[in-house]
Amino acid sequence: MYCKKCGAEIRRNAKFCAKCGTPAPVVDSVRPDPTHSDPVRPAVTPPAGSTHLFCRKCGAEIRRGAKFCAKCGETAPSAKPSVATAAEAYKPPVKPPEEVKKAEEAPKLIITLPETKSGGSNGQFDEWFSDAGDL
Protein backbone atom coordinates (compact mmCIF):
# COMPACT_ATOMS: atom_id res chain seq x y z
CA MET A 1 0.00 0.00 0.00
CA TYR A 2 1.37 3.41 -0.86
CA CYS A 3 0.75 6.80 0.63
CA LYS A 4 -1.41 8.98 -1.62
CA LYS A 5 0.40 12.07 -0.54
CA CYS A 6 4.07 11.22 -0.67
CA GLY A 7 4.12 7.84 -2.35
CA ALA A 8 6.06 6.06 0.40
CA GLU A 9 5.21 2.44 1.09
CA ILE A 10 2.97 2.01 4.11
CA ARG A 11 3.34 -1.17 6.11
CA ARG A 12 0.41 -3.46 6.36
CA ASN A 13 -1.82 -2.42 9.24
CA ALA A 14 -0.04 0.91 9.57
CA LYS A 15 -2.49 3.72 10.14
CA PHE A 16 -0.22 6.53 9.17
CA CYS A 17 2.40 6.96 6.65
CA ALA A 18 5.66 6.66 8.54
CA LYS A 19 7.17 9.26 6.22
CA CYS A 20 4.65 12.12 6.12
CA GLY A 21 2.05 11.25 8.73
CA THR A 22 -0.92 11.15 6.35
CA PRO A 23 -3.60 8.77 7.61
CA ALA A 24 -3.51 5.57 5.65
CA PRO A 25 -6.58 4.31 3.83
CA VAL A 26 -8.73 2.06 5.99
CA VAL A 27 -8.26 -1.60 5.06
CA ASP A 28 -10.29 -4.62 5.96
CA SER A 29 -7.53 -6.15 8.02
CA VAL A 30 -8.00 -3.52 10.65
CA ARG A 31 -10.60 -4.81 13.02
CA PRO A 32 -11.21 -4.03 16.64
CA ASP A 33 -9.88 -6.52 19.08
CA PRO A 34 -12.77 -7.71 21.19
CA THR A 35 -10.38 -9.09 23.78
CA HIS A 36 -9.13 -5.68 24.79
CA SER A 37 -11.55 -3.47 26.59
CA ASP A 38 -11.28 -0.48 28.80
CA PRO A 39 -13.20 -0.52 31.99
CA VAL A 40 -13.45 3.26 32.06
CA ARG A 41 -14.22 4.15 28.47
CA PRO A 42 -15.92 2.33 25.66
CA ALA A 43 -13.57 -0.17 24.08
CA VAL A 44 -11.52 1.32 21.32
CA THR A 45 -9.46 -1.68 20.53
CA PRO A 46 -6.46 -2.48 18.39
CA PRO A 47 -6.70 -4.63 15.25
CA ALA A 48 -7.47 -8.25 15.78
CA GLY A 49 -4.39 -10.37 16.02
CA SER A 50 -2.20 -7.34 16.08
CA THR A 51 0.48 -7.07 18.69
CA HIS A 52 0.50 -3.34 18.31
CA LEU A 53 -1.34 -0.48 19.88
CA PHE A 54 -1.24 3.09 18.69
CA CYS A 55 -0.14 6.10 20.61
CA ARG A 56 -2.95 8.54 21.22
CA LYS A 57 -0.54 11.45 21.00
CA CYS A 58 1.57 10.75 17.95
CA GLY A 59 -0.11 7.82 16.29
CA ALA A 60 2.98 5.60 16.37
CA GLU A 61 2.54 1.88 16.73
CA ILE A 62 3.29 0.56 20.18
CA ARG A 63 3.96 -3.06 20.92
CA ARG A 64 1.44 -4.62 23.21
CA GLY A 65 2.87 -4.68 26.66
CA ALA A 66 4.95 -1.58 26.20
CA LYS A 67 4.27 1.10 28.74
CA PHE A 68 5.36 4.07 26.69
CA CYS A 69 5.33 5.10 23.07
CA ALA A 70 8.81 4.57 21.72
CA LYS A 71 8.40 7.54 19.47
CA CYS A 72 7.12 10.30 21.70
CA GLY A 73 7.18 8.91 25.20
CA GLU A 74 3.44 9.17 25.78
CA THR A 75 2.11 6.62 28.21
CA ALA A 76 0.97 3.59 26.27
CA PRO A 77 -2.75 3.03 25.79
CA SER A 78 -2.62 -0.15 27.91
CA ALA A 79 -2.15 2.10 30.96
CA LYS A 80 -4.89 4.44 29.84
CA PRO A 81 -8.16 4.06 28.09
CA SER A 82 -7.20 2.13 24.98
CA VAL A 83 -7.70 3.04 21.40
CA ALA A 84 -8.36 0.81 18.44
CA THR A 85 -7.01 2.70 15.52
CA ALA A 86 -4.29 5.23 15.09
CA ALA A 87 -6.78 7.45 13.37
CA GLU A 88 -8.75 7.72 16.57
CA ALA A 89 -5.62 7.83 18.70
CA TYR A 90 -3.93 10.61 16.87
CA LYS A 91 -5.62 13.93 17.04
CA PRO A 92 -3.72 16.80 15.52
CA PRO A 93 -3.29 19.62 18.00
CA VAL A 94 -5.80 22.40 17.61
CA LYS A 95 -3.95 25.47 16.46
CA PRO A 96 -5.02 29.03 17.01
CA PRO A 97 -6.15 30.78 13.80
CA GLU A 98 -2.79 32.46 13.09
CA GLU A 99 -0.99 29.14 13.51
CA VAL A 100 -3.51 27.46 11.25
CA LYS A 101 -2.79 30.12 8.64
CA LYS A 102 0.91 29.46 8.94
CA ALA A 103 0.33 25.76 8.60
CA GLU A 104 -1.69 26.38 5.45
CA GLU A 105 1.12 28.45 4.03
CA ALA A 106 3.81 25.93 4.89
CA PRO A 107 2.98 23.44 2.11
CA LYS A 108 3.79 26.14 -0.43
CA LEU A 109 7.32 26.07 0.85
CA ILE A 110 7.37 22.32 0.59
CA ILE A 111 5.95 21.91 -2.85
CA THR A 112 7.30 24.95 -4.62
CA LEU A 113 9.98 23.98 -7.05
CA PRO A 114 13.19 25.99 -6.99
CA GLU A 115 13.13 29.04 -9.21
CA THR A 116 15.06 28.49 -12.39
CA LYS A 117 17.40 31.40 -11.68
CA SER A 118 18.48 29.83 -8.41
CA GLY A 119 19.47 26.54 -9.86
CA GLY A 120 16.95 25.06 -12.20
CA SER A 121 15.88 21.51 -12.30
CA ASN A 122 17.86 18.60 -13.59
CA GLY A 123 15.39 18.29 -16.44
CA GLN A 124 16.07 21.82 -17.63
CA PHE A 125 19.82 21.33 -17.31
CA ASP A 126 19.59 18.10 -19.30
CA GLU A 127 17.71 19.94 -22.02
CA TRP A 128 20.73 22.10 -22.79
CA PHE A 129 23.73 20.15 -21.57
CA SER A 130 25.05 16.75 -22.45
CA ASP A 131 28.06 14.84 -21.30
CA ALA A 132 31.09 16.29 -23.05
CA GLY A 133 32.12 12.78 -24.11
CA ASP A 134 35.21 11.54 -25.88
CA LEU A 135 37.40 13.78 -27.98
Comparing C-alpha atoms, which of 31, 51, 30, 34 is closest to residue 42?
34
Q: Which residues contact 112 (CB under 8 A, 6 or more apart)?
A: none
Q: Long-range pairs for 94-103 at CB < 8 Å and ≥24 separation?
A: none
Q: Which is nearer to other proteins, 25 or 119 (CB)?
A: 119
Q: Which is nearer to other proteins, 99 or 127 (CB)?
A: 127
Q: Which is nearer to other proteins, 35 or 130 (CB)?
A: 130
Comparing C-alpha atoms, which of 33, 58, 57 is closest to residue 44?
33
DSSP letter at 62 equals E
Q: Which is nearer to other proteins, 39 or 133 (CB)?
A: 133
| Least distance CB 113 / other proteins (angstroms) | 13
| Least distance CB 131 / other proteins (angstroms) | 6
Which value, in Å, is the radius of gyration of the alpha carbons in the chain? 21
| Least distance CB 108 / other proteins (angstroms) | 22
Q: From CA 133, how far away is CA 56, in angstroms rounded? A: 57
Q: Which residues bind other proteins (CB under 8 A)?
A: 116-121, 124-125, 127-135
